[in-house]
Amino acid sequence: MPIAADVREMFEEQVQYRELLYQMTRRDLLLRYKQTVMGFGWAVFMPLVNTAVFSVIFTRVAPLDTGMPYPLYAFCGLLAWNFSASSFRFAVGSLTTNTTLVTKVYFPREIFPVSAVLVCLIDFAVGSLVLVGLMAYYHIVPTAAILLLPIVLLVHTIFTIGVCLLLAMANLFYRDVKYLFDVVVTVWMFATSVLYPVSRIGGKLGALLRLNPMTPIIDAYRSVLLLGQLPDAAPFLAASALSVAMLAAFWLMFHRAEFEFAENA
């Protein structure tokens, strides 16, 4: 089937099954916080705990100059990173944990990983309220650069959905993926400017780390929210182009492999 026909079919299915996507997202959201005391508080609690721990390390033990109060730097990075990492974590098993639906009912299977991203996006929005509070506490006043925030969020979401589609599909065919996942995500976090500026790392390692598309995305959040300036254009545009290309490629791969999902579920 020509690529253009595939793309048209993919978009038509998303429109046709949009109500199912809403119901899946609602179900996943309710299941995640069912019988929990804190509920949405968990979306705030973990970034705050990690921020407190690393603030002690990078302000008391090994002081680090980030150009802004370190708790603000760390929380912004952790909040953005946790959106992607949580999406990856729930998406990687989204097909294998819904085998009955995958094997017996037809609908676009990308609904499973996409619903995982949407649930985590809600967590991200809740956690953002704490970031707003921290900005007020440190007297950070937004500038006109904040108008670019929706674009940064869009690129971030596109990148996250692309990776989630790949992870969900890969884990269905190769169950080793879920065992390697935690290690890879942990290493990836420390290779991203979540807790410290990776631009400070020189040599071949620094050059390699600067190829990480998550770093310009997270740095873009800090630029438009905390520094009141435009993101560094070249890295952010490169990350944006890569995100769109990844989503297109992985979504097409996912769509074309759907007929094999029932055999491997």
The number of folded domains in the chain is 1
pLDDT at 136: 95
Residue 121 has pLDDT above 90, yes or no: yes
Tell whether 8 is covered by a domain.
Answer: no
Residues 226-242: tens digit of each pLDDT: 999 999 999 999 999 99
- CA–CA dist 194, 220 (Å, integer): 12
Work out the mean pLDDT of the chain and round it to a whole number: 87
Residues 34-50: tens digit of each pLDDT: 766 666 677 777 888 88
> Domain containing 240: what range?
13-264
**Pair 10, 255: CB distance under 8 Å:** yes
Tell whether 255 is covered by a domain.
Answer: yes
Tell whether 6 is covered by a domain.
Answer: no
